[in-house]
Chains A and B, each alone.
Chain A
């Protein structure tokens, strides 16, 4: 046995937020500023999906675990015009929440009384959320604070007090107030963005308890890896979304911190978690993130132009529990790590070399020894119509090309390699969300079922977007089937019977030596 940390459980959640697409996605908010009379803005509402359509969308069913990645691969492209037959909002790994309930959850996650909901809307949301059995009575009671909030009051907050509006089915139903008069980092816009990421994070943390059977009291540490920043004017990225979300989700014995790295954030956070567990610092570490409003409808102009529904209508979240070796769960090989270093450069060949080929070579593995690669798992239904291509496939082709260059596969095997070692992307384009980690849930199941023995999770990040560096970034790690030796209760490399035999042999030799010296 080797004592590698294990993937103990994973949860995945979506909140379908069509009104937020219009009012909070940056493609739309930018268009409202630069071209408010545009055809796109006029057409947009006609392209928003119903909650039911978003639930039955096959990539979403894969995300929450009701369908498998192989089911999507077997689906004829495109996916937007097809439905998953047994679709449900409730999934094996989590759930899909409608927008009205999500607004209620946002208010429950707001501990500074910044969120106001119209009273009848709040009452209806409370009832729906109570039926979900996600939250405690005292948490649901936060929705009772809206008894004075009529339409006029909500409208006044938006029109006169710089609050951000919340719409449901195109009707104003709530507002998020600013948290400071002049501090831009506490503006209503930033508070809404941060409360959304917190609420979607909380939803995933709660589903990790409900669906993966995690005991929140046993979690020692929580790492948030989203792409938002919270803080005031004196510390814009002060942070700790992790602890803020874990508090609401009831992880009472945990502390935590935030790890950032653009889309590569989750893969970095997984390395942090694995290292903390392997070092024995903590036994149970949760890596978690909520989604972002900004990317809602990011490629909407192309979707509308091509007559498609707006497919970027979901706020996503995920949580993964990394624990000490249990002898059963898939292990994270903390000694097979890919790194895009400062000296790696930006050429795609170098990037994939540093993240895939180099760490495998160091470990004496071939690229064909990895059963499945999980790089950027963006759903091609979203990216292809927008001209960004099939992102996972592009990654697989580059991995295959490197395998050819290294003489590990023949040039004619590239297509087969992509098919056998790749997957069709199912994750929403929520930045960090698709970056390697959507596969952890299905991977855990596949490994436990003996279908997959070894996989690689790859996170990549566009650091240059922050205008601090032109660098790209990425890290990767290998997950393998557990050899089961930890189930014997031993430490790494410890075989009790063997040690007893060795001690017995040594004692016999010692005794014989004594007898010999007396003669």
Chain B
């Protein structure tokens, strides 16, 4: 978990995989600073 602590994170989630907000919630608990988060749709 420590690998994300204090790191700036850019998140690109997948609509049919793991969406941005879910990844965001996870990495925030690991101490990451989310600078960008979005979910993309490829279908």
Contacts and interface: CB of A to CB of B under 8 A. Distances in A.
A394 B20 CA distance: 17
A388 B43 contact: yes
Given A347-B22, A470-B21, A386 B42 contact: yes
A373 B20 CA distance: 26
Nearest to B15: A462
B16 A388 contact: yes
A389 B41 contact: no
A434 B17 contact: no
Contacts of A376: 16, 43
Interface string B2-32: 0000000000001111111110010000000
A226 to B, nearest CB: 15
A467 to B, nearest CB: 10
Contact of B42 (A299, A348, A395, A464): A299
Contacts of A391: 16, 43
B21 A346 contact: yes
A32 interface: no
Nearest to B16: A391
A431 interface: yes
B22 A346 contact: yes
A487 interface: no
A387 B42 CA distance: 9
A383 B15 contact: no
A131 B3 CA distance: 67
Given A346-B22, A347-B22, A394 B17 contact: yes
By secondary structure, the A interface counts as loop
Contacts of B19: 346, 348, 472
A345 B41 CA distance: 17
Contact of B16 (A345, A347, A389, A470): A389
Contacts of B25: 347
A429 interface: yes
A183 B43 CA distance: 30
A429 B25 CA distance: 29
B43 A431 contact: yes
B16 A394 contact: yes
B36 to A, nearest CB: 13
Nearest to B14: A388
Contacts of A480: none
B21 A378 contact: no
Contacts of A395: 16
Count class of interface residues, chain B: 10 to 19
A347 B21 CA distance: 8
Interface string A318-354: 0000000000000000000000000001111000000
Interface residues on A, range: 20 to 34
A298 B16 contact: no
B41 A462 contact: yes
Nearest to A383: B43
B3 to A, nearest CB: 22
Interface string A31-67: 0000000000000000000000000000000000000
Interface string A459-477: 0101011000010100000
Contact of A465 (B18, B21, B22, B41): B41
Nearest to B13: A346
A77 B14 CA distance: 23
Nearest to B21: A346
Contacts of A431: 43
Nearest to A429: B43
Interface string A462-502: 10110000101000000000000000000000000000000
A434 B16 contact: no
Contacts of A462: 15, 39, 41
Nearest to A394: B16
B41 A348 contact: no
Given A376-B16, A462-B15, A434 B43 contact: yes
A342 B19 CA distance: 15
Contacts of A434: 43
A381 to B, nearest CB: 13
Contacts of A470: 20-21, 39
B34 to A, nearest CB: 13
A377 B38 CA distance: 24
Interface string A9-43: 00000000000000000000000000000000000
13 contacts: A263-B41, A346-B21, A346-B22, A347-B25, A348-B22, A376-B16, A383-B42, A391-B43, A394-B16, A394-B17, A431-B43, A460-B15, A464-B38
Interface of B: 14-22, 25, 38-39, 41-43
Given A348-B19, A465-B41, 4 more contacts: A346-B20, A348-B22, A470-B20, A472-B15
By Cβ-Cβ distance, the 3 closest A-B pairs, closest first, are A388-B42, A346-B19, A462-B41
